[in-house]
Structure 1
Amino acid sequence: MDLNTVVEIRDARHPAPWLPGDAWLGGGTYLFSEPQPRLRRLVDLSRTGWTPVEPLPDGSLEIAATCTIAQLSRFARASARTAAPLFEQCCRAFLASFKIWNMATVGGNVCNALPAGPMISLMAALDGECLLIAQDGSRRRVPVASFVTGAGRKDLAAGELLRSVTLPARALDRRTAFRQASLYGLGRSGVLVIGTLDPLDGSLAITVTASTVRPVRLRFPHPPTAAELRSAICSAVAEGEWFDDLHGLPEWRRHMTLRYAEEIRREVTR
């Protein structure tokens, strides 16, 4: 879609004051998908040259905001880390064409903060931490699970940039389980639940996305009973936090979340 209110595209490598009507441009799959009448200038990140996925000396993984879904998928398929299959499962949750895969970015999906954003699901489940850079150059780090605060809402100030998401080494060595539901064969996720089991201490984490307006991350020092897991989810998600749109009623999302969480509990603890 043409954005007929945009009058300038600026290269992000050349700093300039942030102005009202500015927006970061990564892959552009969202920006060009619908009218953006408030935009006047796009700040293009495509020439920054950031390494898409970079293993760090401590075993952690830094994923650039400009990393495309296709690049992340290729990296994961060649990785021997225990949690590597989860990357591909979340990439496939896009149910998008190859054109979208080769343009859509990890950073764009996280910053859109949509409940069904599968990169939010992946990064939150693996204890991802956002690196945010303000216009004055100051930096701060925020867990992905806290970065997304609601449907379309995130902890991001005007002009602030999501530079990357870092996944800790320990999270990459966890056993994982994945469940996803949609009302349609090729539809948007209505429910997405991920479980991770830490082999070092036996702790279990359950991450709920798509069915809720924000990521819900539950940690258990030891695998809970079915009743304990159900109670924890019901306590963590307020009644108004079950997402409601044409992709699923809150009652259905809640039911499927509880069902999948129990399936995951059994799968990873047997």
Structure 2
Amino acid sequence: MDLNTVTEVVRRPSERPGTDWREGDAWLAGGTWLYSTEQPDLRRLIDLTALDWEPLVLTDEGLEIGATCTVRDLYAFPWPEDRTPGSLFRASCEAFLSSFKVWNAATVGGNICLSLPAGPMITLTVALEARYELWAADGSVRFVDALDFVTGDHRNVLAPGELLRRVTIPEHALRRRTAHRRFSLTRLGRSTVFLVGTRRPHASQLFLTVTAGTTRPVRIAFDSLPDARALRQSIEAVPADVWFADPNGTPDHRRHLTRHFAAEICRELTAGDPP
């Protein structure tokens, strides 16, 4: 879609682009959502891709993902054998259910900052206990846990002029066992629910991340592996106003799917444990 209110595109922003932020600006990365709908309040686009942020860096501390890393690059990342969540990364990319053209342009940071309930990069990074590095317009930097970033449907903690610079996934999360379940009404439909369970090898602690079916990500932590009753009670404890309603599912439907898939995830993550 043509953005006919935009009068300027900043092709080569400064290394700290937020310092030049003004009302009517928008960050431009992949632009796959930005150009998909009318943006009548926009006057200027600031192209972040010109900053050449490193897309993916694996260190001893974990994985750093630049905000402008594309879905294609994330999907193609060559995972070392001693890191376990490679299948979760691929499944999260596939949850976009979009063409190669979108994969080549859509960015990790763009999907997170759009903050839709079904954002698969939100699912991925919350499940793996990531932290987001945010750059403010005044030049300051702050760090926010991925779990706390999205506050509701299309809402997050970003202040005007603030941008997401990078996502950091800690090393210990990259060594957790993972299991995931996703449901959509049609093969190419938006996620109705997307659940991820993670567990440290040889440990009882289990994290269950619930997304798509809720307006914001929900993490349920178990100090020991839950039985069916404890699992059901923890899901029922999610506040009623957090469950999401749209044409892809009612809150009751999403709660039912969450109970069903959570039980499957727990069984998968406990398979092979000694009796």
TM-score bracket relative to the smaller structure: over 0.9
In 2: Cα distance, 1:12 partner to 1:249 partner:
43
TM-score between both structures, scaled by the size of structure 1 = 0.96
Give the deviation of 1:79 after TM superposition. Answer: 3.4
Aligned to 1:99: 101
What are the superposed Cα offsets for residues 91-132 of structure 1, whole Å, 9 maximum, x if unpaired?
111111000001000000000000000000000000010000
When residues 200 and 62 of structure 1 are mapped into structure 2, their CA distance, relative to the original with a 3 A threshold, is: farther
Q: Which residue of 2 aligns with 1:145?
A: 147
Asked if the contact 2:180–2:196 (Cα under 8 Å) also holds between the matched residues in 1, the reply is yes
Structure 1 residues 10-40: Cα deviation after superposition (integer angstroms, max 9, x where no partner)? 1333645311111111100000011111111
Which residue in the other structure is 1:110 paired with?
112
Identity %: 52
For these two proteins, the number of residue pairs brought into alignment is 267
Which stretch of structure 1 is more off in the superposition, 163-172 or 6-15? 6-15
**SS at structure 2 position matched to 1:102:** helix
The root-mean-square deviation of aligned C-alpha atoms, in Å, is 1.1
| Aligned residue runs from structure 1 range 255-266, under 5 A | 255-266=256-267
Partner of 1:223: 225
In the other structure, the counterpart of 1:196 is 198
CA distance in 1, matches of 2:205, 2:65: 25
Alignment of 1:171-250 (within 5 A): 171-199=173-201, 201-235=203-237, 237-250=238-251
Give the match's secondary structure for 2:191.
Answer: coil
1:33-182 maps to which residues of 2 (within 5 A)? Answer: 33-58=36-61, 60-75=62-77, 77-80=78-81, 81-182=83-184
Question: What is the identity, as a one-letter code, of the residue corresponding to 2:51?
Answer: T
3-state SS of 1:253 partner = helix
Deviation at 1:52, TM superposition (A): 0.3
- Work out the CA distance in 2 between the residues paired with 1:220 and 1:108: 31
**How many angstroms apart in 2 are the aligned matches of 1:12 and 1:224?**
50
- Match of 1:47, SS state, is helix
Query: What amino acid is aligned across from residue 131 of structure 1 in structure 2?
Result: E
Helix, strand or coil for the counterpart of 1:213?
coil
- In the TM superposition, residue 78 of structure 1 has moved relative to its aligned partner by 3.9
CA distance in 1, matches of 2:37, 2:145: 29
Aligned to 1:3: 3
Aligned partners of 1:36 and 1:248: how far apart in 2? 28
**In 2, Cα distance between equivalents of 1:111 and 1:79:** 28
1:200 is displaced (CA, Å) by: 5.5
Aligned residue in 2 for 1:23: 26
Runs of at least 5 residues in structure 2 that lack an aligned partner in the other structure: none
| 1:252 match: secondary structure | helix
Take 2:224 and 2:171, find their aligned partners in 1: how far apart are those partners?
Answer: 21
Once the two structures are overlaid, the 10-residue window that deviates more, 6-15 or 129-138, is 6-15
Inter-CA distance 200–130: structure 2 relative to 1 (3 Å threshold): farther
Separation of aligned partners in 1, 2:44 and 2:80: 38
**Contact 1:13–1:47 under 8 Å retained in 2:** no
